[in-house]
Structure 1
Amino acid sequence: MNEILDAVPVLNRTEAEQALDQLAQRYRAAGGAGVKIVNLVGTQAENLLDRLPDSVRTGLGTATEQALTLAVEAAGKSRNVIADQPAWLNTAMSSVLGAAGGFSGLPGTMVELPATVTLLMRSVQGVAAEHGFDPDAESVKFDCVRVFADGGPLSHDDGSDLGFISVRVSLSGVAMKKLIATVAPKLAVVLGQKLAAQTVPVLGAMSGAAVNYVYTDYYQQIAQVHFGLRRLAIDADISHDELVNGLRLRLGKS
Structure 2
Amino acid sequence: MPPTDLVTLDVTRDIALLARRHRAARSVGMQVLNLIGGRAENLLERLPDPVKDQLETATSRALEGALRAAQASRGVIPDQKGWLNTAVTTAMGAMGGAGGLPTALAELPVTTTVLLRAIQGIAAEHGFDPDDPAIQKEALSVFASAGPLADDDGADMAFLTARITLTGATVHGLIARIAPRLATVLGQKLAAQTVPIIGAAAGAATNYAYTSYYQSMAHVHFGLFALAERSGQTREALGAALRDEIRRQIR
Is the TM-score greater than 0.5?
A: yes
Dislocated runs of 4+, deviation >4 Å: none
- Distance in 2 (alpha carbons) for counterparts of 1:249 and 1:156: 17
Name stretches of at least 5 consecutive residues in structure 2 with no aligned partner.
1-5
2:165 matched residue in structure 1: 169
Letter in 2 for 1:151: A
The secondary structure found in structure 2 opposite 1:169 is helix
Shift of 1:205: 1.3
Q: Pick the structure with more helix per residue.
A: 2
Q: 1:73 Cα deviation (Å)?
A: 1.8
Residue pair 2:96, 2:103 contacting (<8 A) in 1 also = yes
Q: Is the Cα–Cα contact under 8 Å of residues 138 and 171 in structure 1 kept in the other structure?
A: no
Matches within 5 A, 1:139-154: 139-154=134-149
When normalised by structure 1's length, the TM-score is 0.91
Q: Distance in 1 between matches of 2:167 and 2:247?
A: 32
Change in Cα spacing, 1:159 to 1:81, as seen in structure 2 (3 Å) is farther
Within 5 Å, give how 1:71-150 maps onto structure 2: 71-150=66-145
Give identity over the alignment, percent.
49
User: TM-score, structure 2 length as denominator?
Assistant: 0.92
Contact kept, 8 Å, 2:129 with 2:135, in 1: the verdict is: yes
Structure 1 residue 27, shift from structure 2 partner: 0.5
Give the length in aligned residue pairs: 242
Letter in 2 for 1:251: I
Tell me if structure 1 keeps the 8 A contact 2:193–2:206: yes
Aligned-partner residue type, residue 195 of structure 1: L
* 1:22 alignment counterpart: 17
Query: How far does the alpha carbon of each residue in 1:144-167 deviate from its partner, in whole angstroms, 9 at most, with x for none?
Result: 111000110112314653000122
Q: Is the 8 A contact 2:145 2:156 kept in 1?
A: yes
Q: 2: distance between equivalents of 1:250 and 1:160?
A: 15
Q: For each residue in 1:9-38, what CA deviation from the matched residue of structure 2 results, as whole angstroms up to 9, or x when unmatched?
A: xx7221121011100000000133331121
